[in-house]
Structure 1
Amino acid sequence: MRAGIAALLAAYVLSQFYRAFLAVLTPVLQTDLGATASDLAAASGLWFLAFAVMQIPVGEALDRIGPRLTTAALVGTGAVGAVIFAMAGGPGAIKLAMVLIGIGCSSVLMASYYIFARSYAPAVFGTLAGATVGIGNLGNIGSSLPLSLAVEAFGWRGSLWGLAAITALIALAILTLLRDPPRTGGGQKGSLLDLLRMPALWPMLIMMAVCYAPAASIRGLWVGPLFRDVFGADAAWIGQVSLIMGLAMVAGSFAYGPLERVLGTRKWLIFGGNALALACLTGLWLSPQSPALTIALLAGLGFAGASFPMVIAHGRAFIPAHLTGRGVTLLNLFGIAPVGLLQLVTGRIHASTAPDPASAPYATIFGFIALMLAAGLVVYAFSQDRTD
């Protein structure tokens, strides 16, 4: 089982890599294929959309088929997407490739959570979930400087062919090494509607919708434009800021599990962490003028905003065993879909806000995200605590 989980972890590192790697490829794709910034933004959005749409069928498949065949088949689909990307002749092929890669990544994290929920003590679920995300976030780091070095050495097509091969090998490793956990007994049946009828689950779904999107959307979309437009940063400086925020997100993912054991509560740990994230967003909203302070606030947001594995752990504690797959993927759907939606909304906010001063559009974006998180915290305050 450990070798199979290691294969899933490798696949999740790839998933994090694929959702962030277009930023590094943007200049060369614009030069070679004429792909505009809007083309690549659309391609990135399609990745998130495909990933989100797949969560419901993935949940069904995890409960009915099991994580081994489900994940191996989908990661293989992602390898096909990487091949199409490597052979792309224009922006349309890139968009198709990103859809297939998004589908390929859609089950990896949830397969891991399914196995943790079914094979390990409930009390360690939050720690295992957070550690998985922390390790997977190393893919964000790989999609920056290491990818740029690979593109310099092998070209972007050669790099994509290498990624396609790695993706295919990981799919084969999952098929060969992973073992499905035992099935639940008793022949119990259920559906997604059974989960949606659970009042206790809704505060966690709302919290999922607001806890991951702030750090993910700012790290993935707005750090670069903010530092370019407000502080005149070059690519190297932007890369350093992105790395700092990414490392803070990794550290936060590892910190939430041990903090749960120390504090003995999930609800108030999640509430307190996201209240700290809200404070950082408020600081960015009110004063995005000092580069040092902005970097510190972004790092704080990255650290505190890494609570979504713990929110899934909180929600999972209310989910019946025979609905584990559908339950964790429903929670993940509420976490991942808002990222894409927030990118679209904040893009319109940026376009419609006069850059006078240059920080004004970004302050408006941070203010909008802060209000969104504050509303989610109000709802979550009425949730039931459960720590297994």
Structure 2
Amino acid sequence: MTGCAQHSQRLSGLAVFFSVFLPFALGHYLSSLLRTVNAVLAPNLVQSLSLSSGQLGLLTSAFFFSFALVQLPVGIALDRYGPRKVQLVLMLLAGAGALMFAHGDSFAELVLARAVIGFGLGGCFMSAVKSISGWIAPERLPSVHGYLIAVGGLGAASATLPVRLALQFTDWRGLFTMLGALAACIGLLIWLVTPRPAASAPKAPAPTVQSILDVYRDPAFRKTISLMVVPHMVFFGIQGLWMGRWLSDVAHFSDAAVAYLLYLSMAAVIFGAIAVGMLTEWAGRRGVVPLDVAAVGIGLFLLVQVGIVLNFKPGFQTLSVMFTLVGTITGIEYAIVARSMPPSLTGRAATCLNLLIFIGAFLVQAGFGQVLGWWNANVLHQYPAMAYQTAFGILVLLQLPGLVLYVWRRGRAPAAAGMQERREGAVA
């Protein structure tokens, strides 16, 4: 019996919530807040440093790049040392990065600080997944992961109107100082309240490069990412920065209106994540596999982006909210992967998935800015609608093959099964 199983027999569900779920969920909350805060701070940063669209994209996406680089080392550390120890170190590092950002005076210094923040927050979600997976039944994973993603949505929502309100009392430097202190406090909270592993629990064997490659070679893993990983990249890369700029540049909403719409969008993540978890469990009881649910959601996600490409002006507000509401379907891939992998690989599986997602999010966020740079900005640093239509059109074309491939495979499966039955009948 594992240490987690021993603990789960002694702790009530309420105790597990307060001592396991909540501390790690707070880390994910802060990670989502810092990932998306530049969507609101973009005008302040552009004004302070006179940034181009390419520089703004690079500055913000540095978080994703460093986040991706740290995934495999953190995944190995999680399986070897456990989430409690790993998160204490990482959250203190994130706090140091936030303080560096608060005191940065140049573009290069802020890029470096943003990267350090990404390093420190790189283990938040997968630490939570690793901890939670050891305390609940596998069939409960989709809904519990949905709750975790909802907490992340709350963090993203906190990066909108609450941040704009905070800027009335301090500047962006003071804000990052407070966020740095919060990161350190969360790390200490995890260390103090999370149950220690049982002394008799065996330490996980040292992982190898082969064990990492085994994750990527797993058929279920590859089938999942072929459908979901590119939409997940787009979801993270766009909602953390460019959705707000699109509302400002193309829809010509004021900064206050943009902050309000971003708040509604990020709040929609909370309801969307919970709904996705509940819908997936409901569909599972009726024989529908989670990947089929995900395929329907990704189809809707692409339709929302097509509306943006077509520059559907009457629906600008609705499209901005629907992008994040429907985009939460991409988060279900963590639960799908966690259910398909052995427990000893859950940490590495989550990090392998994160490695792909966040490298892709970095490329999406930075590349989107480069595409906008093909056009000249006006005196207000705004880019024309055609620039955004082109950038979003490229993203749609990148996501479409995965959905087409899944539908094609889904259609072939019944035909292959029928052919096999006919062969068995002939043999009989």
TM norm structure 1: 0.89
Shift of 1:187: 5.9
Aligned to 2:422: none
Q: Percent identity between the aligned chains?
A: 28
Distance 1:207 1:96 in 2: 33
Aligned to 2:367: 345
Shift of 1:31: 5.3
Bigger Cα displacement from structure 2, 149-158 vs 184-193: 184-193
Bigger Cα displacement from structure 2, 93-102 vs 103-112: 93-102
The letter for the 1-side match of 2:338 is R
1:375 aligns to 2:383 (yes or no): no
The letter for the 1-side match of 2:304 is C
Distance 1:197 1:219 in 2: 30
Distance 2:213 2:153 in 1: 32
Distance 2:387 2:58 in 1: 21
Distance 1:185 1:61 in 2: 11
Alignment of 1:196-345 (within 5 A): 196-264=216-284, 265-286=289-310, 288-290=311-313, 292-345=314-367
**Structure 1, residues 345-366: CA drift from partner, whole Å, max 9, x if none?**
22233233689x9422222222
Distance 1:354 1:96 in 2: 28
Distance 1:282 1:181 in 2: 49
Shift of 1:70: 0.6
Distance 1:368 1:181 in 2: 48
Retained in 1: the 8 A contact 2:264–2:321? yes
Local SS of the residue matching 1:36: coil
The letter for the 2-side match of 1:282 is V
Distance 1:103 1:260 in 2: 32
Distance 2:100 2:376 in 1: 39
**Structure 1, residues 97-132: CA drift from partner, whole Å, max 9, x if none?**
211111111101101111222221101111111111
Shift of 1:176: 1.1
Structure 2: stretches of 5+ with no match in the other structure: 1-15, 378-382, 414-428
Local SS of the residue matching 1:282: helix
Local SS of the residue matching 2:268: helix
1:165 aligns to 2:187 (yes or no): no
Retained in 1: the 8 A contact 2:20–2:132? no
> CA distance change for structure 1 residues 152 and 261 in 2, over 3 Å: closer, same or farther?
same
Bigger Cα displacement from structure 2, 71-80 vs 375-384: 375-384
The letter for the 1-side match of 2:404 is V
Distance 2:375 2:47 in 1: 30
1:7 aligns to 2:23 (yes or no): yes
1:96 aligns to 2:112 (yes or no): yes
Bigger Cα displacement from structure 2, 296-305 vs 317-326: 296-305
Bigger Cα displacement from structure 2, 333-342 vs 120-129: 333-342
Shift of 1:248: 2.2
Aligned to 1:118: 134
Structure 1: stretches of 5+ with no match in the other structure: none
Distance 1:217 1:108 in 2: 18
Corresponding residue pairs, total? 381
> CA distance change for structure 1 residues 89 and 262 in 2, over 3 Å: closer, same or farther?
same
Bigger Cα displacement from structure 2, 104-113 vs 301-310: 301-310
* RMSD (Å) for aligned C-alpha atoms: 2.6
In our comparison, the structure showing a higher alpha carbon Rg is 2
> CA distance change for structure 1 residues 177 and 161 in 2, over 3 Å: closer, same or farther?
same
TM norm structure 2: 0.82
